[in-house]
Structure 1
Amino acid sequence: MWKDLGPITSDAGVRVHPTTTFAQCPGEVDVLFVPGGRDQAATAEDEEVLEFLEDRGGRARYLTAVCGGSLILGAAGLLRGRRAATHWTGRDVLGLLGAENVSERVVVDGNLITGGGVTAGLDFGLVVLARMFGEDVAKMAQLAMEYDPQPPFDAGSPEKAGPRLADLVRGATSGTNDDMIRAVTRLTERGWGGARKVPTT
């Protein structure tokens, strides 16, 4: 869903076609999911997005996000005082948004389910499935996808990769994170983010 039904091009070049708009979205939703991406700062500062998330997110059965999507939820004031995960390069920003940064692939805090970067989305999806439909359904989905990770390298976290590789990746993503930090400063001045009261769930 989006503000309108026009196609949206992701930062990877994939075109996504919304099937409903913010205005048409039901007041109560089972799962509200926010993805991340390189352009997350612009989305996090969009007043229409923030108002929609604040409204529906405060009433959603499950409030969820993966990667930088957690930062967008935080921009809407929905993470204040809650445990959350995001891509490891954006963990410091979570604290600026009033969240407790947790360096885990998937974090569950009540009805809030957040995941780390990119591949953590698979683990995240299985956790959401298990919550909604039971462990057997989640296990069947895992088996159907043949999700049995055996990565060729043990470098999937900054702790495992070591300082040299972590610094290289951090440098390559610094533009996205710098944009987000500047956005959080502006959001705070406008009363959003960590400065905003969280709607009661």
Structure 2
Amino acid sequence: MSAVQTGAGESRRRVLRGAVAGSLGVAGLGAASGHPAAAADRRAPGGDGEGKLSVAVLLYDGFTALDAVGPYEVLCRVPGVRVTMVAREAGPVRTDTGELTLMAERAMSEVERADVLLVPGGGNRGTVAMMEDAGVHRWIRRIHRRSTWTTSVCTGSLILGAAGLLRGLPATTYWASRPYLKEVGAVYTPGRFVETGKIVTAAGVSAGIDMGLHLASRLSDEKVAQAMQLAVEYDPDPPYDTGSPEKADAETEALALKLLADSAR
């Protein structure tokens, strides 16, 4: 790293430290929210061994990046929460485009329990493979039995359904995959995310951020969730109003699906 880069990085850290000190004083976020004591009451055994609530994000070849990273970005800074990327084997895992890789910190066989299980969606290749993977289904069911929350983003709900967790339950998924929910026994229900008991399913891709904020409030409290929304400056104001099939015409829908298909690897 050059001296210029180092200086710029140090300058940025000073700015962030100054902003935090100015807005929170010496108390800091955890003390201001009162979260640590509240979290201690909710900690379940079998977490990550550090006394933190554990969130396991399942990665697999062909998952969609934002499905995993969106909720991660919201939850990873919530006091008392530890987010871990998990895959069949620890190591690099490719996204649906094949052009981005995330690292799984732990193998599925090493994770016996999590307070929150999060299953992201993926491209057709990745989703179908996971819907047919009996070993993954057994792991999902095992984690689900003791989880506080079992969640999905986008077509991750189809994977939960294939594992037998959504029979007769309201759920949502990616807009183009709604008809497939019926095939896994779920009842399609509109919404950015749908909560049924301890199962929460989010709609497509960016809806995982909404669900992540909801989970932040459940794992901590609303003040922390609201602060995290500000921390990641999640204040959507898109230049176009075509973010759901109810708002887009048929030509836009067809182009959206073509763009996804053409980028798949």
Fold shared by both chains (TM-score > 0.5): yes
Runs of 4 or more consecutive aligned structure 1 residues displaced over 6 Å after TM superposition: none
2:225 is matched with 138
**Which of 140, 144, 148 pairs up with 1:57?**
144
Matched residue of 1:161: which SS? coil
Aligned partner of 1:37: which letter? G
**Which of 201, 215, 219 pairs up with 1:114?**
201
Q: What are the Cα deviations for residues 80-134 of structure 1, in whole angstroms up to 9, with x where unaligned?
A: 1111111101111011111011121111111111111111111111011111111
**1 CA distance for matches of 2:158 and 2:224?**
29
Does residue 6 of structure 2 align to residue 6 of structure 1?
no
Aligned partner of 2:91: which letter? G
Percent identity over paired residues: 40
Structure of larger gyration radius: 2
Aligned residues of 2:91 and 2:105 also touching (Cα < 8 A): no
**2 CA distance for matches of 1:130 and 1:9?**
30
Aligned residues of 1:89 and 1:173 also touching (Cα < 8 A): no
Matched residue of 1:36: which SS? coil
User: Could you tell me the TM-score, scaled by structure 1's length?
Assistant: 0.80
Aligned residues of 2:96 and 2:122 also touching (Cα < 8 A): yes
Aligned residues of 1:71 and 1:93 also touching (Cα < 8 A): yes
Unmatched segments (≥5 aa) in structure 2:
1-85
Aligned residues of 2:131 and 2:162 also touching (Cα < 8 A): yes
Unmatched segments (≥5 aa) in structure 1:
176-201
How many matched pairs? Answer: 174
Superposed displacement of residue 174, structure 1: 7.4
Aligned residues of 1:113 and 1:128 also touching (Cα < 8 A): no
Does residue 115 of structure 2 align to residue 23 of structure 1?
no
Cα RMSD after superposing both structures: 1.7
> Per chain length, whose mean CA-contact separation is higher, i.e. which structure has more relative contact order (CA < 8 Å, sep 6+)?
1
Aligned partner of 2:199: which letter? L
Aligned residues of 1:7 and 1:17 also touching (Cα < 8 A): yes
Aligned partner of 2:152: which letter? A
Q: Which stretch of the first structure deviates more once superposed, 119-128 or 14-23?
A: 14-23
2:121 is matched with 36
Aligned partner of 1:112: which letter? I
